[in-house]
Amino acid sequence: MFKIEVAKMSILFSPITIGGVSLKNRIVMSPMGMNACKAEDGKVTNWHKIHYPSRAVGQVGLIMVEATAVSLDGRTDPDDLGIWEDGQISGLKELVDMVHEQGAKIGIQLCHGGRKSKIPGKIMAPSAIPYDENSIVPEAMTEEEMYEVIAAFKESARRAKQAGFDVLELHAAHGYLINQFLSPLSNKRGDKYGGNLENRYQFLKEVIHEIHKVWDGALFVRISATDYHPEGCSIDDYIVYGSMMKEQGVHFIDCSSGWIVPPNFSERPGPGYQVPFASQMKKEVQIPTGAVGLITSGLQAEKILVEGHADLIFIGQELLRDPYWPKRAAKELNVSIDAPPSYEYIWNK
């Protein structure tokens, strides 16, 4: 176990600025879909207003709002959060203001489900290849449909700016539409959007290009750094993609993995299993990265940062179990952190 000599300070609790956004610490709430839009209108509900600000009260530095649909037909589930129309901005703005009031920064993850959409109607993807044998066979997108989706990402970025978000994260991981273009397992196109690595990057390239026209804040991309498949993308392919993203002005790469094809669970992932991807990306592309996946303790998070594997630590499930996880991590690291004023006496007792 990693030991810290009576740590008076830690990297985990030190501030950092990425893409012009200053965070009070390195703890990020990983984007996690809540399926909490009961009216199927994609609007923020009371659940979101309790769920996200609670983690801000818990002293998370950056809250990343869940995968949010850029278009009605881009939802993965009917109860997904949405940013496809202007009527959704006011609820999102309320959420942003609540989180800011509690001293945290807030980002939003933009997503289109592609062949993973589980909604009625037409399902689109780069090629007519289903996710698995139980999934609907999607329709291969026409160029016009691609332009429409690219425009939807741009319009969603404009709405995110209007709502006051600090960070925009593109969901290019976990087998959703952008990932489907990047992977040769799901992209068999014969046009300029398919074939070699550069062509498979073209869709994301155009999304980023369009977003820059309306978004001048911090831009993150979440990737699946490997497809865990011999004919799929490896981390070495993603190093090339990462360089292209950096060249296009992406500030940060959030390194997850898998889910472009169904996982093979013969080997269950262990603690910090995706950290090596964040580490390699950071070193080879020279870009700030995020480590995510089975990071559960303050000591584990601090070790990742001390060893220089990543710049931010994304916490998922552990923050669902404990909204005040940063307080627990601080105790482990023997550092004192600010408490919300109303809790100050109790937290410092």
Ligand X SMILES: Cc1cc2nc3c(=O)[nH]c(=O)nc-3n(C[C@H](O)[C@H](O)[C@H](O)COP(=O)(O)O)c2cc1C
Q: What tokens does 328 get?
A: 């627990």
Candidate ranges 86-94, 133-141, 231-239, 288-296; the one touching ligand X (CB under 6 A): 288-296
- Listed residue (197, 199, 203) closest to 152, CA to CA: 203
Name the β-bridge partners of 170.
110, 221
Question: Which of 90, 234, 286, 317 forms a contact with ligand X (CB under 6 A)?
Answer: 317
Cα-only R_g, the chain? 20
Q: Could you say which of 189, 222, 251, 309 contacts ligand X (CB under 6 A)?
A: 222
Residue 31 found at the interface with ligand X (CB under 6 A): yes
Q: What does residue 126 show for φ and ψ, rounded to 5 degrees?
A: -60, -40
Could you tell me the smallest distance in angstroms from the CB atom of residue 64 to ligand X?
8
**182 CB-side CA count, 13 A:** 36
83 near ligand X, judged by CB under 6 A: no
Largest interatomic CA distance in the chain: 65
- Closest contact distance (angstroms) between CB of 8 and ligand X is 27
What is the rounded distance in angstroms from the CA atom of residue 143 to the CA atom of residue 34? 32
CA distance 180 to 260: 7
By CB under 6 A, residue 81 contacts ligand X: no
Position among 59, 71, 127, 256 found at the interface with ligand X (CB under 6 A): 256
* Cα distance between residue 106 and residue 56, in whole Å: 9
Q: Does 160 bind ligand X (CB under 6 A)?
A: no
> Nearest-CB residue to ligand X?
316
Nearer to ligand X, 20 or 269 (CB): 269
Q: Two tokens at 175?
A: 């087998």
Quick one: which of 19, 33, 164, 340 contacts ligand X (CB under 6 A)? Answer: 33
**Least separation in angstroms between CB 171 and ligand X:** 5
Assess contact for 293 and 273: CB atoms under 8 A. yes
Among 44, 57, 63, 67, binds ligand X (CB under 6 A): 67
Indicate the pairing of strand 16-18 with strand 21-23: antiparallel
The residue from 173, 178, 255, 312 that contacts ligand X (CB under 6 A) is 173
**Is residue 32 near ligand X by the rule CB under 6 A?**
yes
Piece in contact with ligand X (CB under 6 A), picked from 116-124, 128-136, 169-177, 213-221 = 169-177
Binders of ligand X among 174-193, rule CB under 6 A? Answer: 174
What backbone torsions phi and psi does residue 243 show, to the nearest 5 degrees?
-65, -40
Q: How far apart are CA 115 and CA 125, in angstroms?
A: 5
Q: Which residues bind ligand X (CB under 6 A)?
A: 30-33, 66-67, 109, 171, 173-174, 222, 256, 292-295, 315-318
